Chain A
Amino acid sequence: MTNKPRRISRRSVLAGLAGGASIMALPGGIRTAGASNPFKMGTFFSLSGPASLFGPTQTACNALAVDEINAAGGILGRTVQIVAGDGGAPPAEAAKTAVRMMLRDKVDVIVGSHDSAVRQAIVGALKGRIPYVYTPLYEGGECAPNTYVPADTPQQQVRPSINAMHDSFGTKKIYLIGNGYVWPQQTNALAKRYIAEFGGSVVGEEYAPLGPGNKFDDAVTRIKNANPDLVLITLVGGDNVNFNRTFAGFGLDKNIKRLSLLLEELTLQGIGPKNGNGLFSCMSYFSAVDTPANKAFKARYAKKFGEKAPPLSMIGVDAYSGTNCAASLINKAGSTDAKAVMAASEGLQYKTATGTGTMTNRHVAKDMFLAEAKGAEFKIIKSFGKIGHGEKCSV
């Protein structure tokens, strides 16, 4: 990642993919044998709506994973072919698209990176009839049949990071701020438990409405008065940017640490290099992760997309890992039969951008990292190794 933001729209990526698709549609002689009976993968990435800034990365990472899977023999020996849907559509429309994918396009598996409302709509539409892999970090608790969630769960994000902050900086008094919806609330509920475990205290908790852009001057003033050691931030998108800019603008960054749980490279770009002092994030992927696996991943990514590569970010790279997860899952099961896939999921090992993930209870134990914002980039402070997900879905 360079400091300079790249100007890529999802259009160019879509155009690139369309080119790829047309190559795949060449006359029979050129096609590989497997292409005659492709393995169809439905995708729901954020092509529109507020999360559309992640769309290009999601689409690109998915395309890279599909290339690699096909090079390695495809899924069940068949070439993978993408049927794209819009995860940024309203839930009802996404559900209709899912049904169409399932019944008309006869997709074999669906991979999605989008919000929880759309996930529920898709789960409701599929009713477990085809495997569905949901990739972005979320609040936990999705145990619908034939649904697999290689996402970061609150337990994976909160527990190690809050303890590490306590160990490194002695942060005991903690202020919670988030958007008023389910992910921040669930995450904070867990956080309170872990804070109590090491004898810390919650000195404030507040939620800002999701939807309109919020100003945070008054919240920052309250935080200043509460005088915490650490602010645990579960604000998302523009609110996360606005809050952190205001926080630094009021000069609170000098004395108070911040830990944001949905802070990846694209959001950090909005917060700006001068406002990231004492700002931490904990997720399963940062572009800065220094493992051989990630270096190789980044090299392959750069080779495929070159100059115009959409910037790598957790929400996006999860589509790479999720696509691999889906492929490994079905290859291991040997079919797309729901029972077989459910059974195969337990103990599944698959390739992620930074190493491997291990699936149990249809969630994934994975390597987690604590990173600190340094200018426009992250610096990995600590690798936690494999962290359990804490979910209890039956198989």
Chain B
Amino acid sequence: MAWLAANLAFITAILVVLPQIVGDFWAFTLALFLLYAVACLGLGLSWGQAGLLSLGQGFFLGFSAYTSGLILIGFSTSAWLFPLLGLSVVAPGLIAYLFGCMIFHGRTQNTAFFAIITLALILLAAQIATAWESVTGGYNGLRNIPGLPGFSELEDAYTLSAVALGLSMMFAAWIMQTPLGVLWRALSQDERRVAFLGFNHNQLKSVAFGLSGLFGGIAGTLYAPQNSLVTPDLFGFLLSTSFVVWVAIGGRNTLYGPVLGAIGIGLATNTLRESVSFWEVILAVIFIVAVLYFRKGLTGTAEPAVKRWFERNDRVRKPAPARHSAMTFDRIAIENLNLSVGNVGILEDLDLNIGSPGIYCLIGPNGAGKTTIFNAMTGELEAQSGTVSMLGTRGIKMDARTQTIAGLGRKFQVPSVFDQLTVGENLAIALWSGRSSRRDLLRLSLLDWESPVLTELERRFPFLTDRRQMVGSLSHGQRQVLDLAMVLCTEPRLILLDEPCAGLSLAETNEVISTVRWAVDRFQATAMIIEHDMAMVRELADHVFVVHNGSMLFEGSVAEVQSNAAVQAVYTGGTK
């Protein structure tokens, strides 16, 4: 909490001192840009944290500016005024959240499409605000909006905006630190992996977008009384894209970046465009250069994106609770699976049965369809016919998240770890999987969780104890191991590993083999491992499946496979 307190003091000091430095008239101008900064802070959350670039942040500002204006006009003397204004703060947040639920529902969104959809949203809002004259005042806007009772002087504008910005920044600082913030940053790097760790990625995104809406709501609700006029300009393409420019130049990932961008660039534009002839050109060039070479913006290099919890040395680790779901073995039955992509058939009438826990290796030449079997099991690819029964279901399709909660752990061929997070954060995300409720994601104490499994993994792979290390700076082998460790931290009962030892040194390989064996015994789990290295298969496998041309060629013990003529033919004749 010390860091939060330091921020609170710093922000408060700046906001109090600022008007003394710049003078009253600038403070009044600044009042507007502090509100814009609140909206930009919201954009920073959705874009910088969760990776959702919105070209329509002005929608939320505008929406609540109109509702706040209408409320102030209609109820300025009513006792209900402040509760109603509270609604106008919250409403855009709810709208954004519901909009997110609608848009993100059940699929991975193309990034560009989200930008376009938000663009369509503000264009539509601008159209409605202009056309619906009886309510919105049309093109000329809603006018003669009274000030907030008790806050109608010029100086009050700054005070209100400053308090709103201060509180918003505190809220943002806190939420960026919570497990939710960690998950957003993970999400913006690899959405699929977050789903395969058992989190509802669509809902996480909706929450981020909802909060960006809420920040727009705060700004808009104060905008109306401050300006006494609300026009469709707020839904303009220009304002929303300006927000994006400001946040990008200021630094999208940081707490201070969006704020500095909004105040600095916004205020500069407000004053310089009257005196500097080529201001727009200068701004455009700065912007392009920032996008190309300073992706983190002005503050990105100076301030770490988020003050990392794990940098504290005095943290006391707490045992994580047990996973919610029971861990018992369940048989795996794949029957008559046919799967083709385009007109290329990949799996043909594939059958695979596993009746008891243990380690099962899948071997077969390149292109045999091994990874596709995993993809069909986890719903990444849809089979044309056939059934998969596992994890207590019989041929019912589950998404990656549900499967993970039910006990699936999948490691992809390429290490899917979150490069921009620390080792500690990566492992923590895995620990939260299946153990945290939605509300838990707001508890900072989750960052202190540990489990016996994690302790054992740390013993086996000492680099995992350096929790502050950025994952991006790890070696390939360490990333492979971290990925595996994350899978095992979820304590799965069905483990799918795709070449877990690719690129590892001999020592690392041996340690991984022994760890997998240890985990399977400990969890009473079933591990299915795709492996090319026959030496490893010999070490690991209780049972081997040989896949060839999308069908099951042979299955049996290692010795049986090695002596089977058909398998030998495939391996000697089939591949070169």
* A contacts, CB < 8 Å to B: 11, 14-15, 47-48, 84-86, 89-93, 95-97, 99-100, 103-104, 116-117, 120-121, 124, 180-182, 209-212
B239: which A residues are within 8 A, CB to CB?
90
Q: Is the CB of B141 within 8 A of A99?
A: no
Query: From DSSP, what is the main secondary structure of chain A's interface residues?
Result: helix
Is B342 close to A, CB under 8 A? no
Q: Tally of A-B residue pairs with Cβ under 8 A?
A: 97
Q: Is the CB of A91 within 8 A of B274?
A: no
Instruction: Given the known inter-chain contacts A99-B25, A124-B143, A180-B130, please indicate yes or no for A84 contacting B274, CB distance below 8 A.
Output: yes
Of the A-B pairs whose beta carbons lie under 8 Å apart in the complex, a sample of 29, sorted by A's number, is A11-B278, A15-B277, A84-B275, A86-B274, A90-B231, A92-B223, A92-B229, A93-B32, A93-B270, A95-B227, A96-B28, A96-B29, A96-B31, A97-B29, A99-B28, A100-B25, A100-B29, A103-B25, A104-B23, A117-B140, A117-B231, A121-B231, A124-B143, A124-B144, A124-B229, A180-B130, A182-B138, A182-B139, A211-B130
Interface residues in B222-252 by Cβ distance below 8 A to A read 223, 227-229, 231, 233, 236, 238-239
Shortest distance from the beta carbon of A140 to any chain B beta carbon, whole Å: 12
A180: which B residues are within 8 A, CB to CB?
130-131, 139
Q: Which of the four size classes fits the interface of chain B?
A: 35 or more
Cβ-closest chain A residue relative to B25: A104
Cβ-closest chain B residue relative to A118: B231
Q: Is the CB of B139 within 8 A of A210?
A: yes
Q: What does the 1/0 interface line of B247-285 toward A look like (CB < 8 Å)? A: 000000000000000000000001001110110100000
Shortest distance from the beta carbon of A319 to any chain B beta carbon, whole Å: 16
Cβ-closest chain B residue relative to A99: B28
A92: which B residues are within 8 A, CB to CB?
32, 223, 227, 229, 233
A100: which B residues are within 8 A, CB to CB?
25-26, 28-29
Cα(A91)–Cα(B127), bound, Å: 18
- Partner of A11 from B32, B154, B274, B277 at Cβ < 8 Å: B277
Instruction: Given the known inter-chain contacts A86-B274, A99-B154, A103-B25, please indicate yes or no for A117 contacting B131, CB distance below 8 A.
Output: no
A47: which B residues are within 8 A, CB to CB?
273-274
Q: Is the CB of B130 within 8 A of A181?
A: yes
Cα(A182)–Cα(B143), bound, Å: 14
Shortest distance from the beta carbon of A111 to any chain B beta carbon, whole Å: 15
Instruction: Given the known inter-chain contacts A99-B154, A103-B24, please indicate yes or no for A209 contacting B130, CB distance below 8 A.
Output: yes
Q: What does the 1/0 interface line of B163-188 toward A look like (CB < 8 Å)? A: 00000000000000000000000000
Q: Is the CB of B270 within 8 A of A95?
A: no
Q: Is the CB of A209 within 8 A of B127?
A: yes
B26: which A residues are within 8 A, CB to CB?
100, 104
Shortest distance from the beta carbon of A43 to any chain B beta carbon, whole Å: 10
Cα(A381)–Cα(B276), bound, Å: 43
Q: Is the CB of B130 within 8 A of A210?
A: yes
Q: Is the CB of B277 within 8 A of A48?
A: no
Is B454 close to A, CB under 8 A? no
Cα(A11)–Cα(B28), bound, Å: 29
Q: Is the CB of A181 within 8 A of B139?
A: yes
B130: which A residues are within 8 A, CB to CB?
180-181, 209-211
Interface residues in B201-219 by Cβ distance below 8 A to A read none
Cα(A104)–Cα(B23), bound, Å: 9
Known: A96-B32, A209-B127, A211-B126. 9 other contacts (CB 8 A): A89-B270, A89-B273, A92-B32, A92-B227, A95-B227, A124-B144, A180-B139, A210-B130, A212-B123
Q: Is the CB of A95 within 8 A of B229?
A: yes
Interface residues in B3-34 by Cβ distance below 8 A to A read 23-26, 28-29, 31-32
Q: Is the CB of A91 within 8 A of B277?
A: no
Shortest distance from the beta carbon of A165 to any chain B beta carbon, whole Å: 27
Q: Is the CB of B270 within 8 A of A182?
A: no
Q: What does the 1/0 interface line of B117-142 toward A look like (CB < 8 Å)? A: 00000010011001101000011110
Shortest distance from the beta carbon of B549 to any chain A beta carbon, whole Å: 55
Q: What does the 1/0 interface line of B268-307 toward A look like (CB < 8 Å)? A: 0010011101101000000000000000000000000000
A181: which B residues are within 8 A, CB to CB?
130, 138-140
B275: which A residues are within 8 A, CB to CB?
84
Instruction: Given the known inter-chain contacts A124-B143, A211-B127, please indicate yes or no for A85 contacting B231, CB distance below 8 A.
Output: no
Shortest distance from the beta carbon of B122 to any chain A beta carbon, whole Å: 11
A211: which B residues are within 8 A, CB to CB?
123, 126-127, 130
B236: which A residues are within 8 A, CB to CB?
90
Q: Is the CB of A91 within 8 A of B24?
A: no
Q: Is the CB of A91 within 8 A of B231?
A: yes
The 10 closest A-B pairs by CB, nearest first: A181-B139, A104-B25, A96-B29, A117-B231, A90-B233, A11-B277, A124-B228, A92-B227, A100-B25, A116-B140
Shortest distance from the beta carbon of B463 to any chain A beta carbon, whole Å: 53
B28: which A residues are within 8 A, CB to CB?
96, 99-100, 103
- Partner of B233 from A15, A84, A91 at Cβ < 8 Å: A91
Shortest distance from the beta carbon of B229 to any chain A beta carbon, whole Å: 5
Cβ-closest chain B residue relative to A116: B140
Shortest distance from the beta carbon of B281 to any chain A beta carbon, whole Å: 10
Cβ-closest chain B residue relative to A12: B277
Cα(A84)–Cα(B270), bound, Å: 12
- Partner of B277 from A14, A93, A99, A103 at Cβ < 8 Å: A14
Cα(A180)–Cα(B139), bound, Å: 8
- Partner of B139 from A90, A96, A117, A212 at Cβ < 8 Å: A117
B229: which A residues are within 8 A, CB to CB?
91-92, 95, 117, 120-121, 124
A97: which B residues are within 8 A, CB to CB?
29, 270, 274
B270: which A residues are within 8 A, CB to CB?
89, 93, 96-97
Cβ-closest chain B residue relative to A93: B270
A182: which B residues are within 8 A, CB to CB?
133, 138-140
Q: What does the 1/0 interface line of B140-155 toward A look like (CB < 8 Å)? A: 1101100000000010
Cα(A100)–Cα(B24), bound, Å: 9
A212: which B residues are within 8 A, CB to CB?
123
A48: which B residues are within 8 A, CB to CB?
273, 280
Cα(A31)–Cα(B131), bound, Å: 53
Shortest distance from the beta carbon of A213 to any chain B beta carbon, whole Å: 13
Instruction: Given the known inter-chain contacts A96-B32, A121-B229, please indicate yes or no for A91 contacting B141, CB distance below 8 A.
Output: yes
Q: Which of A48, A92, A120, A209 has the most CB of B within 10 A?
A: A92
Cα(A238)–Cα(B116), bound, Å: 24
Instruction: Given the known inter-chain contacts A14-B277, A99-B29, A209-B131, please indicate yes or no for A91 contacting B227, CB distance below 8 A.
Output: yes
Shortest distance from the beta carbon of B272 to any chain A beta carbon, whole Å: 10
